[in-house]
Amino acid sequence: MDAREFARCIDHTLLRPDATEQDILNLCDEAVEYGFASACVASCWAGTAKKRLEDSGVKACCVVGFPFGSAAPYAKASEAWAAVDSGADEVDMVMNFGYLKSGMIGEIRRELTAVVAVTQGAAVKVIIETCYLTDEEKVLAARLVKDSGAAYVKTSTGYGPKGAAVEDVTLIKKEVPGIKIKASGGIRTYEDAKKFIDAGASRIGTSSGPKIVGGLR
């Protein structure tokens, strides 16, 4: 991949709780400058990001149920609806991995179905927080995501004790064919990002996008 192709794999991300409006605007400007796939922000900044990115070809992406995934299903659906109504093109929702580890599969299906239903065609990426899961749970989670009609399974929030792992991408790609994967959490260099792309990820979530792509120019 050349720099432009690689940039189109990156969701340029700013999810710090102290991020200001100007920080969000700067993030969006960088996303446009480098040609990233999206600018990924908290749902309260959906409208701000969408307006700044208008006609740029860069998508506005918002997180939902972030970072712990423990909100009630209807709350996640409400947040997802509000984000899309404000202009979000993509929604990154955190799965309730406590439900998953409890075997509450029906509850997970309910929240996934609810969020996909209200996003009005916006791409949904579901964060499964792989660092808390066994390999069997990772595969199960990815299958539930695929069955729900969501667009991607995403590895991590970046707030867990461990971020993305190449072996998790390899596992999911092998066991759940056809699913799209977004790797995120602790990816800060071109070398790291390329390992995930080579393993089968088609999106990279990172706050280090300019550093990663800058060396390719």
33 CA to centre of own chain: 21
Q: pLDDT at position 217, please?
A: 63
In the block, tokens 């309730």 appear at 96
Active site amino acids: 92, 154, 182
Position 122 confidence tier, pLDDT thresholds 50, 70, 90: very high
pLDDT digit string, tens, across residues 12-45:
999 999 999 999 999 999 999 999 999 999 999 9
pLDDT value at residue 144: 98
Strand, helix or coil at 201? Answer: coil
The pLDDT confidence band at residue 80, using thresholds 50, 70 and 90, is very high
What is the predicted pLDDT for the residue at 120? 87
What contacts 139, CB < 8 A, 6 or more positions away? 171, 172, 175, 176
Show the domains of the chain with their CATH numbers.
Answer: 3-214 (3.20.20.70)
Half-sphere exposure of 217 (CA within 13 A, CB side): 10
Residue 178 binned pLDDT confidence (cut-offs 50, 70, 90): very high
pLDDT of residue 114 exceeding 90, the answer is: yes
